[in-house]
Structure 1
């Protein structure tokens, strides 16, 4: 593994935790998974740009 390829910053998991906290109430597992996948898509699109 090349250390030059490591990018530090906020991860999708960090963003998911913020989303859950901001919602202020429990979420269905399906909603959590959908949100996580959306966050991952956005991060991939940013990385490819």
Structure 2
């Protein structure tokens, strides 16, 4: 919040846009990693216990 006060008002929307873009990219990356982990877990489970 301290860094926001030093920025001029004109560059504030751009800063917010950049930050939201980075956050959304990070969220997408985390979701992708979690999906990969879940898939790997299921394949290991199937390999160990084929009947389940």
| Structure with max Cα Rg | 2
Question: Larger helix proportion, structure 1 or 2?
Answer: 2
Superposition TM-score, scaled by structure 2 size: 0.45
Superposition TM-score, scaled by structure 1 size: 0.47
